[in-house]
Amino acid sequence: MDRSTTDAFRELYRATYDDLLVFVERRVHLAVADDVVAEVFLTAWRRFADIPAAHDQARAWLFTVAHNVLRNRYRSDDRQQGLALRVVREPATHPGPEADGVAARVDLVRAWQRLSRDDQQVITLTAFEGLTGRQAAQVLGITRPAFSLRLLRARHRLRQHLQAATPAPHRPHPTATPETGASR
């Protein structure tokens, strides 16, 4: 590689490393995330001529490579980790106003875990990674309309799981009075 290409690669690395690392850390154990990102940039170095010149397109290209590296790792290691939300669970010493927030987070985690890996992935690409629909479709190797349909269905399933996890509001039952035995 000549000097200008090396400089362009360094700039691409600086501009995208943190985003790629976060993307990968959401999918694999933190101990292997650096290795996955290193593999992505090794591929980028070897195939630098294939990377689009526009920053947004180059970023999407790198996310596509990361997606493929992760997919290969899942296959070869037979991992079922997929995408997961990591929530620190601290036991509450007393119920307080934050109890509802904790319950909502627990419900969200449970609903998220009930989604398929594919559903988790399409939601994560747009919600957490900030990719456009076009870029996310490119990462997955599908058309923009196909991605939009997958995202719509994944969001619908997440809402269904959340609704199923949310208990119905408590309604007090009438009580009987000792004198009459009738309800008040």
Q: Does residue 65 belong to any structural domain of this protein? A: yes
Q: Which residues of the chain have pLDDT under 50?
A: 78-92, 184
pLDDT score for 8: 93
pLDDT for residue 29: 82
CA angle 174, 176, 180 (to 5 degrees): 140
For residue range 2-36, list pLDDT tens digits in order. 888 899 999 999 999 999 999 999 888 888 899 99
Instruction: Answer yes or no: do 10 and 78 share one domain.
Output: yes
Q: Are 116 and 141 part of one and the same domain?
A: yes
Q: CB within 8 A of 5, min separation 6: which ones?
A: 48
Give the domain CATH number at 129. Answer: 1.10.10.10
Q: Can you tell me the distance from the alpha carbon of 88 to that of 111, in angstroms, rounded to the nearest whole number?
A: 16
Instruction: Tell which of 55, 82, 109 closes a domain.
Output: 82
Quote the pTM value.
Answer: 0.52
With respect to residue 172, please indicate whether it lies within any of the assigned structural domains: no
CATH number of the domain within which 67 lies: 1.10.1740
Q: What is the pLDDT of residue 89?
A: 38
Residues 72 and 125 in one domain: no
113 shares its domain with 46: no
- Write down the pLDDT at residue 40: 95
Question: Which domain covers residue 146, as residue numbers?
Answer: 97-167
Q: Is position 180 within any domain?
A: no
Total domains present in the chain? 2
CA distance 58 to 8: 11
